[in-house]
Amino acid sequence: MAGAGGGSNDVQWCFSQVKGAIDDDVAEADIISTVEFNHSGELLATGDKGGRVVIFQQELENKCQPQSRGEYNVYSTFQSHEPEFDYLKSLEIEEKINKIRWLPQKNAAQFLLSTNDKTIKLWKISERDKRPEGYNLKEEDGRYRDPNTVTSLRVPVFRPMDLMVEASPRRVFANAHTYHINSISVNSDYETYLSADDLRINLWHLEITDRSFNIVDIKPANMEELTEVITASEFHPNQCNTFVYSSSKGTIRLCDMRASALCDKHSKLFEEPEDPSNRSFFSEIISSISDVKFSHNGRYMMTRDYLSIKIWDLNMETRPVETYQVHEYLRSKLCSLYENDCIFDKFECCWNGNDSVVMTGSYNNFFRMFDRGQRRDVTLEASRESSKPRSVLKPRKVCAGGKRKKDEISVDSLDFNKKILHTAWHPQENIIAVATTNNLYIFQDKLN
């Protein structure tokens, strides 16, 4: 598998770290709901169903061990969202973090956006390693002095202290979404961002919290006529006027904000005609797109539906230029997946640093990588059994039927409760983060 650096050399993935408790009984609040590297890859953020954000920082490389790349250790943990109650609608708003998006670093502090179903927050993460001492009107313990007792003036000084990482909410963007927010995406102008729910997309300015502009509204006048919902949305990586949104009907619409203020009329519609031979009761459900991501160079777009990943060229709307089957062996199991609700799982996908490889998750804690240049793919597993440091991950194979070979796993023995929905790829290196239920696995390529 070619990796972030490209080239035809095979990348051997090996275990680096695992974060999280080993217990079998997992608390609901500890289930990871989003994973995101920052623009340099030095920081890795996760959000969970308990409303917490945990940020890991990559340690500097060890000079004594040039073979080992810096490990990720906890940098900051904070409670981003709390459970709320909407009294008008008698609805509980859960604290689960749906998405995290980093802003590019402009000064010593880092900024990120995090959202639950209704409210988006802009957080500032900053470091403090000095504290002021020697105030004239204040004791060191914080008590105020009587000004009459001050007989001489002194100049306060900064003294070194243990490093403290503070997370403070700088902006709260609330009350703009009637339905659940599924996406946030920062624009390439780094001044605005979009937030999308089931029926509407809003455009915000990062400095203005009390108003946003509605740029897409697909809500019909009569809700009984509702046939599709918005499932994901993202800004183009370098054209600040362009964004896409995907729907539950398997279509992707590309909109240009220069054309009109309300982008209800799309500029391009990407849709693949359905193969009549594959038509079934579940066709509509499995064609729903769960994630859409532009390539870093902005030329391509990747979409993930239940069974496959499709790569679209923005210049060709009629069909995808590449299609990769993620777990085609599940097509015969759709009935039982419908009964246990797994068919509604929303798998995410990601590109590597130079857009040559794409990655997405599957069941049984499997995740898949597809090398676009060499047309090769691999199935790997995130499990504690193969979590010895630097141990190379063995490719897995699933047997769909017939005679099972020695190393193959039968499709009937897959565990559908173990699923990888969230994955992230370091923007410059072959380091990936894979979230199983409540554990975060970090893998990297084997350094020779």
Averaged pLDDT for residues 393-416: 83
* Residue 7, pLDDT score: 39
18-36: pLDDT as tens digits: 998 877 778 889 999 999 9
Tokens of 299: 């030329």
Averaged pLDDT for residues 39-57: 95
Averaged pLDDT for residues 334-340: 93
Question: What's the Cα-to-Cα distance from 313 to each of 255, 297, 319, 352, rounded to whole Å?
Answer: 15, 12, 9, 17
* Residue 130, pLDDT score: 82
Backbone angles phi, psi at 393, to 5 degrees: -75, 130
* Residue 322, pLDDT score: 95
* Residue 3, pLDDT score: 47
Tokens of 389: 């440091």
- pTM value > 0.85: yes
245-279: pLDDT as tens digits: 999 999 999 999 999 888 888 999 999 988 787 77
* Residue 196, pLDDT score: 96
Check: CB of residue 440 under 8 Å from CB of residue 72. no
Whole-angstrom distance, CA of residue 293 vs CA of residue 321 = 15
Partners of residue 296 on adjacent β-strands: none
Whole-angstrom distance, CA of residue 18 vs CA of residue 384 = 8
How many Cβ atoms from other residues are within 10 Å of residue 213's Cβ? 15
* Residue 442, pLDDT score: 94
Residue 2 has pLDDT above 80, yes or no: no
At residue 345 the predicted structure's pLDDT band, cuts being 50, 70 and 90, is: very high
Provide the mean pLDDT of the chain: 90
Check: CB of residue 98 under 8 Å from CB of residue 115. yes
Residue 414 has pLDDT above 70, yes or no: yes
H, E, C per residue of the chain: CCECCECCCCCCEEEEEEECCCCCCCCHHHCEEEEEECCCCCEEEEEECCCEEEEEEECCCCCCCCCCCCCEEEEEEEECCCCEEECCCCEEECCCCCEEEECCCCCCCEEEEEECCCCEEEEEEEEEEEEEECCCCECCCCCECCHHHCCCCCCCEEEEEEEEEEEEEEEEECCCCCCCCCEEEECCCCCEEEEECCCEEEEEECCCCCCCEEEEECCCCCHHHCCCCEEEEEECCCCCCEEEEEECCCCEEEEECCCCCCCCCCCEEECCCCCHHHCCCCHHHHHCCCEEEECCCCCEEEEECCCEEEEEECCCCCCCCEEEECCHHHHHHHHHHHHCCHHHCCCCEEECCCCCEEEEECECCEEEEEECCCCEEEEEECCHHHCCCCCECCCCEEECCCCCCCCEEEHHHCCCCCECCEEEECCCCCEEEEECCCCEEEEEECCC
Backbone angles phi, psi at 335, to 5 degrees: -65, -50
Whole-angstrom distance, CA of residue 195 vs CA of residue 90 = 24
Averaged pLDDT for residues 109-134: 91
CA dihedral 234, 236, 242, 248 (to 10 degrees): -30
Tokens of 156: 């306060």
Rounded to 5°, angle at Cα 213 from 207 and 215: 130
- Report the percentage of the chain scoring pLDDT > 90: 66
75-93: pLDDT as tens digits: 999 999 999 888 887 888 9
Averaged pLDDT for residues 183-195: 96
* Residue 67, pLDDT score: 52
Whole-angstrom distance, CA of residue 350 vs CA of residue 186 = 16
Residue 4 has pLDDT above 70, yes or no: no
β pairing state of 376-381 and 366-371 = antiparallel
* Residue 5, pLDDT score: 43
Q: Which of 72, 99, 67 is nearest to 431 (CA)?
A: 72
As a whole number of Å, the CA-based R_g of the chain is 24
Q: Which amino acid is at 126?
A: S
Averaged pLDDT for residues 362-368: 95
Q: Which of 27-36, 59-68, 122-131, 286-295 has the lowest mean pLDDT?
A: 59-68
Whole-angstrom distance, CA of residue 147 vs CA of residue 274 = 81
